[in-house]
């Protein structure tokens, strides 16, 4: 019995032995370390896949029909590429959260042992701006011994991604990708091999991408791409479209150095008036065909501009935005009309906090305002009652506290700063402000699918207008053609636009807006 009674004491003494305690603690720490390491590797994670790595040996149909094959070569920057190969890599954020530049401890680098990088371009951007990955001007040829591409640190939203198209010279086949993230990792996905026919079609598309985007030509081509023109061009109008237009213009001028393109956000109707003034100044349509001005318009121009010729570019989604401190996430069309007409003046009347509503609106020259007035309010907004957007310092007796600003960025800055504010802006612009929240309208988020189902009304089509039709070969004509390129489509999609070409030239939404939104 004594032995039996002592066994627990001996057992407790053994468990209390310092060496055993240290071993147990060490084992627990090791298990936790493995678990934490696994969890953190998925917290921020960038994965990459090599879609294609192939020699360029096929000839385009034009080459087969034009004469001896021997005169056709792969050229870049007027130099023949020896042993040319084409690599397409897909990079995406497959982690659990977004990645900011501060999270990038070591930028992404792509090394191609045994090969020299001759040309590369970023394409098929989804949820990330191409200009941040490959800023304008970074298209120059790397040094001859360079076998590496190093990308700058850039933000990458969750599930966002892009593709890297690379022209190489040499016989190597390996691709090495490195990078380091804070609490994260960079990993290689297994290659998915599709049917042979699919690979052939895919390779043909890639050859087309090279010709359009990377400046690679088959044959003894001219110094510049065929779409390049020289001269000066001014894009004026929509402040919502201005940042995107600047990206497209920078992309064009980085390849076409003879072109100088300025982009000025002066509001939609001011841009339309500026282009229409070319005719008022006595220019004939034939003279204006070499026009140096293009108007950016949120929505089709009214019938008041009969001399202007418009071209639909992309569907633009707008949202009603509020300061997050209002505690409001959804409003009906009827509630929005009551707010703007002064029948609802406090957020508590629609389920928010007890604070008076401050309306931050756009001026009458804004296409965003025209779309909001037509498609949401069904009428005109009331006059201003405030200059500072915080109290009725302009008209103290007004039922509505409402101010007006001239630009999208100013509106978003004010909504971000005023706890009781409401306004309207392009969806993608609103995401840059921490205290600005896009809200649902009638229970629907601002998505292209909701628009296609006729459940979300606050949208329009972005148009580019010229006075008459620009002459063939002019900078205006060639830039408008460039707006239909794959490069421009990538930029548009990265800024949450839906290019009209995405569903064919007769994109239903673009056609529908032209027929039904003529008053904006």
Going residue by residue through the chain, which has 520 residues, state the pLDDT in tens, using 9 for 90 and above.
Answer: 444 434 444 444 444 455 555 656 666 676 565 555 555 556 788 999 887 888 876 555 444 444 444 445 676 665 778 888 889 899 999 888 888 888 898 999 999 998 998 888 888 888 788 878 887 654 444 444 588 999 998 888 888 889 898 888 888 889 999 998 888 889 888 643 444 434 444 444 444 444 444 444 343 344 577 779 999 999 999 999 999 999 999 999 998 999 999 999 999 999 999 999 876 665 555 455 457 899 999 999 999 999 999 999 999 999 999 999 999 999 999 999 999 999 999 999 999 999 999 999 999 999 999 999 999 999 999 999 999 999 999 999 999 999 999 999 999 999 999 999 999 999 988 888 999 999 999 999 998 889 988 999 999 999 999 999 999 989 999 999 999 888 898 889 888 898 987 754 435 778 765 544 333 3
User: Is the separation of the CB atoms in 190 and 179 below 8 Å?
Assistant: no
Q: How far is CA 94 from CA 99, 228, 490, in A?
A: 10, 38, 20
DSSP string, 234-299: EEEE-TTTHHHHHHHHHHHHHH-TTEEEEEEE--HHHHHHHHHHHHHTT--HHHHTT--EEEEEES
CA dist 461 and 509 (Å) reads 8
Report residue 463 as tokens: 């148009």
Nearest to 427 by CA among 449, 400, 448: 448
Phi, psi of 221 (to 5 degrees): -70, 175
Instruction: Please check whether residue 297 is in contact with residue 513, taking contact to mean a CB–CB distance below 8 angstroms.
Output: no
Which positions ≥6 away from 242 have C-beta within 8 Å? 263, 264, 265, 296
Residue 67 burial class via C-beta count within 10 angstroms: exposed 0-12, middle 13-18, buried 19 and up: exposed
Query: pLDDT value at position 363?
Result: 96
Angle at 478 between CA 474 and CA 482, to 5 degrees: 165
Residue 493 in tokens = 């999609």
Cα–Cα distance between 414 and 307 in angstroms, integer? 37
- Give me Rg for the CA atoms of the chain: 29
Question: How confident is the model at residue 33, as a pLDDT?
Answer: 59
Q: How many CB atoms lie within 10 A of CB 108?
A: 23
pLDDT in the model for residue 331: 98
Q: Phi then psi for 381, rounded to 5 degrees?
A: -80, 155
Number of Cβ within a 10 Å radius of residue 143: 8
| pLDDT recorded at residue 138 | 45
Give the full edge-to-edge strand order of the sheet including 79-80: 79-80, 74-76, 217-218
Determine how many CB atoms are found less than 10 A away from the CB of residue 47: 17
């Amino acid at each position: 019995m004594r032995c039996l009674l002592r066994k627990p004491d001996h057992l407790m003494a053994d468990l209390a032995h310092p060496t055993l305690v240290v071993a147990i603690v060490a084992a627990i720490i090791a298990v936790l370390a493995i678990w934490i390491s696994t969890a953190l590797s998925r917290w921020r994670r960038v994965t990459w896949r090599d879609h294609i790595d192939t020699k360029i040996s096929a000839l385009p149909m034009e080459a087969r029909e034009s004469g001896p094959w021997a005169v056709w070569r792969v050229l870049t920057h007027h130099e023949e590429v020896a042993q040319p190969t084409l690599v397409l890599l897909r990079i995406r954020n497959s982690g659990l959260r977004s990645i900011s530049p501060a999270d990038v401890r070591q930028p992404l680098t792509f090394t191609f042992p045994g090969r020299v990088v001759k040309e590369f371009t970023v394409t098929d951007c989804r949820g990330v701006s191409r200009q941040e990955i490959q800023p304008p001007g970074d298209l120059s040829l790397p040094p001859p011994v360079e076998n590496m591409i190093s990308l700058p640190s850039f933000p990458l939203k969750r599930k966002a991604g892009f593709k890297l198209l690379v022209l190489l010279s040499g016989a190597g086949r390996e691709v090495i990708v490195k990078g380091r993230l804070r609490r994260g990792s960079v990993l290689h996905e297994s290659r998915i091999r599709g049917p042979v026919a699919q690979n052939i079609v895919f390779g043909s598309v890639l050859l087309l991408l090279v010709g359009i985007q990377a400046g690679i030509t088959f044959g003894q081509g001219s110094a510049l791409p065929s779409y390049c023109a020289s001269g000066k061009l001014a894009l004026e109008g929509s402040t919502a479209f201005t940042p995107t237009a600047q990206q497209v213009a920078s992309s064009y001028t980085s390849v076409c150095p003879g072109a100088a393109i300025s982009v000025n956000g002066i509001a939609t109707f001011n841009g339309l008036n500026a282009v229409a003034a070319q005719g008022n100044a006595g220019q004939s349509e034939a003279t204006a065909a070499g026009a140096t001005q293009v108007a950016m318009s949120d929505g089709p121009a009214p019938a008041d501009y009969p001399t202007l010729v418009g071209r639909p570019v992309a569907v633009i989604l707008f949202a009603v935005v509020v300061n997050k401190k209002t505690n409001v996430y959804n409003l009906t069309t009827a509630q929005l009309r009551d707010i703007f007409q002064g029948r609802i003046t406090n957020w508590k009347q629609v389920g928010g906090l007890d604070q008076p509503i401050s309306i931050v609106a756009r001026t009458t020259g804004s296409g965003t305002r025209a779309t909001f007035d037509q498609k949401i309010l069904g009428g005109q907004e009331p006059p201003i009652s405030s200059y500072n957007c915080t109290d009725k310092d302009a008209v103290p007796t007004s039922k509505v506290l409402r101010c007006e600003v001239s630009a999208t960025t100013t509106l978003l800055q004010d909504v971000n700063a005023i706890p009781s504010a409401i306004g309207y802006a392009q969806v993608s612009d609103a995401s840059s402000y921490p205290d600005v929240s896009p809200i649902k309208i009638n229970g629907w988020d601002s998505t292209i699918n909701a628009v296609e189902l006729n459940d979300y009304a606050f949208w329009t089509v972005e148009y580019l207008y010229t006075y008459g039709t620009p002459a063939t070969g002019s900078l205006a004509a060639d830039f408008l053609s460039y707006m239909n390129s794959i490069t421009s489509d990538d930029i548009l999609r990265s800024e949450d636009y839906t290019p009209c070409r995405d569903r064919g030239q007769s994109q239903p939404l673009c056609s529908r807006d032209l027929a039904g939104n003529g008053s904006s």
